[in-house]
Structure 1
Amino acid sequence: MKYRRILAIGVVAICLLCAEIGLGKTPVVWWMLYHNSVPEAEQWLKDWERMFNETHPDIDLKIETRVSNPREAVIVQTVAGVGPDIMYEVDSVMGQWVENGYAMPLDKYIASWPGKNDILPAVLDGVTYGGQLRAMPFMLWTWGVAWNKNVFAEAGMTSFPQTWDEVTQAARRTTRTNADGTIAQWGWRTWRSNIYILALVEAHFRQLGATIIEEGQTRANLNNSVGHQVMAQLRDWWRIGGMPPNLAASSDDLAKGKGAMYYAWSGDDRSTIVNNYPDVGPETIGFARYPGPTPGNDVLQFMTANLMILSSSKNPDAAWQVITAFMEPENLKQYLLRRGMISVLRSHYHDPDLMSFKYTNELMALVYDPLYIHGTKHQRYGRYRATAGNEFIKAFDGSIGITEALIKAEEIIRAEITGN
């Protein structure tokens, strides 16, 4: 009798413990990061987490939106066996996670997922390495040109240039100088960031049917006729914009009418114009793909936000369920309405709610082939983009010649890839 009583108490205790820890539920931890400046999207994620758990009683989802130093933390926690199952990452650094074995191949999952054909093919290709899909893209931002229509109109132009020569002419016509020779209104400018300038060079390589380096290669192809043509053209625009030795474009200048063409403008910077200049709209600010050397050679670059399943995940099947639930068109739409980015789903490109967000309609209109990932798709892109980019900036500023910059950038890329 005493034994049965002890056994009964033990069973009750186990049941209570099971209820408390959710025994029978599969835990999934999702690091959905970088929401400090978008509290509406962060709150939606918390609400969606609760809804998901209510409708999926077999899964216990926990979404963490704020993790300090996540790229370092995920390595430490994974080694300790307590890392997340899903992690947010941008495509430009996905290569390092692939190379180090952190990003699980998703091909076996996406092959049978009904939503795969709704995703823009170029963005899937951007996170495919060695023929294997390594993450699920869910939103993108464009990298192209932003331009001020009023500044163009004041210079007697009503449309955006279609060729490199027309860009040069427009840059000169929209540049205004002060009496001391300084630039009062720039016709053409871009970033001075060494991590972005290589991508701008690559965009113009693509327009000439070339690339700086192919995926899997160890040597870059820079010091050639294409490299010299691209660098000479970008250097000319750089100088027209008065960028040497330390000036750069800004969305503030563009919105104020102090600039005409902002090259390598990131769609992620849209919030600067939307929030700081509410009276400025599409009638003033326009967006364009990069014009080519001849009409019809225009291209657009993009960056994507992606969800990767960590190879260390103990529950990858459940993690995939979470991702596909989030990717359902209505769920993704509701998130993007609060996040203010562009969808990777083709079915969203005619959604009136999404297009009502300021400038979204204009930016979506640019998203068609040819589309290229921002930068070069290589596992070690993150290692060489800044140091090689420094050499390009030196050439544009005139401190070294174009040939020297191309040779040095080639050597930097080779050394970073081969390790010697």
Structure 2
Amino acid sequence: MMKKSFATLTSVLLGSVVVLSACGSGDSSTGTPAPGGTPSGGASGEKVTVTLAGWTSSADEKELLQQTLNEFEKKNPNIKVNYEVIADQYMDVMKTRLIGGNGPDVFYLDAFEAPGLIQTGVVEPLDGYVTADFDTADFEQPLLAAFQTGGKTYGFPKDFSTLAMFYNKKDFKEAGITNPPKTWEELQDAAKKLTKSENGKVVRYGFGAAPEIARQMYMMKAFGGQVSDDKGSATFASPEALKGLQLVTDMHNVEKTSGEPKEVGAGWTGEMFGQGKASIVFEGNWAIPFLQTNYKDLEYGTAELPTVNGKKGTMAFPVAYVMNKDSKQKDASWKLLSYLTGKEGMKTWTSKGFALPTRKSVAAELGYDKDPLRAAIVAGASYATPWVDKATLPTIMNNFNNQFIEAYSGKAKLEDAMKKAQDTANKEISAAK
């Protein structure tokens, strides 16, 4: 999956709409009541249908998921999986269908959307279904925690990516840099050496940045800052949060060694990197197939992100399988969900590297923890900040992004811009209560 920015991630993942039939109703069931209370079919040999809804990024990815589902059906001949692709406005479609009572039995849920949807009561808690052989300790805990709230687990992560540092080996060699920077201070120094100008104009930035909150949460956290408080009110303008954000804006406005994609005619930092207009970018697993397809001759490597304030950090973007609370086939739905997020199903699904496994054992078995390009991405999962917060995050994101770009571009002081964004976000949050 390719993630250009949080906003463009949605469009890349979701594509164009498919008209879907109503699902989740299932056949009348005669089986044993599932932990959620509703009986599920299949116990007496009756074949039942479980609907699964999600998005897809490519034909190859869709084919790989179908292979995984076929393997599940062979092992569970009494369960038929009806896989539906919602290719446009995924969450809008899902919310409408779930609230209307005709949602799918099992569906994808992005961490960013999880708190808000869980709050509506349409997602089934899964703790009562889990058995000892499911091995929840095998999941990378920050990725699992993204779908836990109030002491309950509402989803199990199917795949993820963190951000890693992509660096141009040729540029590094020409600048006399032997190793990728390990601290923010080393990144600043490297970016100065890597930035290239012609006729007074920057033609290659040392560092290509994405000035948005989805990429900056861990920077704020490094100094003790938080996006919001326990009540969901925005707090990203605190002195602690500003310390992390200042590092990002200073590289652009003071050191002149960082630029964003639009400054060099690129659409996102992965493209900026591929075109040779940035020597270092922070990107995820989705950038690897993009670069392999579009920039075959590019010599690059990856490394974990540099430490900030002496602390390791990165962002994680997990997606989970969750169950519809109104599903009529809860037992069969759990069998599907637990297979897809279990070791066997996850191994098939992540076998080609389109997505990365959230289970440590599967990542090791497939060799991703030692892969030259993906090892750094996998390593970050254990300490990453997931792209999730309170249910107010969408409101916070919109206001943060609107003002942070003003500060990054030098049109406003960082403190003033973030204070304005925070105040506006909190007014909107209060009005929505």
> TM-score, normalised on structure 1?
0.83
- What is the match of residue 205 of structure 1? 220
Indicate which of 348, 365, 377 corresponds to 1:334.
Answer: 348
1:103 has 2:123 as partner = yes
Task: Decide which of 30, 46, 51 is 1:24's aligned counterpart.
Answer: 46
1:385 aligns with 2:397: yes
Who is 1:258 aligned against? 277
Match of 1:317 among 320, 328, 331: 331
Report the residue type matching 1:212 in the other structure.
Answer: V
Q: Partner amino acid for 2:419?
A: I
Amino acid in structure 2 at the alignment position of 1:404 = D
Query: Aligned match of 1:349 in 354, 363, 366?
Result: 363
CA contact (8 A) 2:160 2:357 kept: yes
Is the Cα–Cα contact under 8 Å of residues 245 and 397 in structure 1 kept in the other structure?
Answer: no
User: How many positions carry a matched residue from both structures?
Assistant: 385
Q: Give SS of 2:103's match.
A: coil
Q: Provide runs of 4+ in structure 1 moved above 4 Å.
A: 352-358
Distance in 2 (CA, whole Å) between partners of 1:359 and 1:42 is 23
Counterpart in 1 of 2:309? 293
Give 1:409 shift: 2.2
Question: Per-residue displacement from partner, 1:341-368 (whole Å, max 9, x unpaired)?
Answer: 211011023224656977233432x335
* Cα distance between partner residues in 2 of 1:395 and 1:255: 26
Report the structure, 1 or 2, having the larger helix content.
1
Unaligned runs of 5+ in 1: 1-21
The residue type paired with residue 373 of structure 1 is: P
Q: In the alignment, is residue 270 of structure 1 matched against residue 288 of structure 2? A: yes
Contact 2:261 2:272 in 1 (8 A): no
Distance 1:328 1:402 in 2: 45
Partner of 1:228: 242
Residue 75 of structure 1: aligned partner: 95
Query: CA 1:230/1:75 → structure 2, altered by over 3 Å: closer, same or farther?
Result: closer
Contact 1:189 1:237 in 2 (8 A): no
Q: CA deviation at 1:241?
A: 3.6
Give the direction of change, closer, same or farther, for the CA distance of 1:231–1:48 in structure 2 (3 Å limit).
closer
CA shift, 1:41, in A, is 3.0
Q: Distance in 1 between matches of 2:209 and 2:260?
A: 12
Q: 1:142 — aligned with what?
A: 162
CA contact (8 A) 1:337 1:357 kept: no
CA distance in 2, matches of 1:230, 1:315: 47
In 2: Cα distance, 1:163 partner to 1:80 partner? 50
Deviation (angstroms), 1:259: 1.6
SS of aligned partner of 1:219: coil
Cα offset, 1:217, TM superposition:
2.2
Whether the 8 Å CA contact 1:299–1:369 is kept in 2: the answer is no
Whether the 8 Å CA contact 2:52–2:104 is kept in 1: the answer is yes
User: Given residue 278 of structure 1, which amino acid in structure 2 is its aligned partner?
Assistant: K
TM alignment of 1:121-160, pairs within 5 A: 121-160=141-180
SS in 2 for 1:104: coil
- Structure number, greater radius of gyration: 1
Listed as ranges, the matches of 1:22-101 within 5 Å are 24-35=46-57, 37=58, 39-101=59-121
Partner residue of 2:386 out of 373, 391, 405: 373
Distance in 2 (alpha carbons) for counterparts of 1:270 and 1:164: 24
Q: 1:242 to 1:79 in 2, by over 3 A?
A: closer
Q: Which moved more, 1:231-240 or 1:49-58?
A: 49-58
Pick which of 65-74 and 385-394 moved more: 65-74
| Alignment partners' CA distance in 1, 2:82 and 2:353 | 20
Q: Is the 8 Å Cα contact of residues 188 and 238 (structure 1) preserved in structure 2?
A: no
Aligned mates of 2:368, 2:189 — CA distance in 1:
36
CA contact (8 A) 1:300 1:367 kept: yes
Is 1:415 aligned with 2:427?
Answer: yes
Secondary structure of the residue that 2:245 maps to in structure 1? helix
> In 2, are the aligned partners of 1:138 and 1:343 still within 8 Å (CA)?
yes
* TM-score between the two structures when normalised by the length of structure 2: 0.80
User: Residue 291 of structure 1: SS of its match in structure 2?
Assistant: coil
Map of 2:263 onto structure 1: 247
The alpha carbon displacement at 1:116 in A equals 1.1
On the 8 A contact 1:105/1:134 being kept in 2, the answer is: yes
Residue in 2 aligned with 1:4? none
Q: In percent, how many aligned pairs have the same letter?
A: 18
Partners of 2:260 and 2:137 in 1: how far apart? 46
Structure-2 residue corresponding to 1:5: none
Asked whether the equivalents of residues 160 and 358 of structure 2 are also in contact (C-alpha less than 8 Å), the reply is yes
Q: Deviations over 1:38-87 (max 9, x none)?
A: x2332233344344334323323212235553323223333443320111
Deviations 1:225-284 (A, max 9, x none): 323322322111123245389526632342344322213x23222221121123435xx2
Q: How big is the shift at 1:139?
A: 0.7
Contact 2:162 2:384 in 1 (8 A): no
Partner of residue 13, structure 2? none
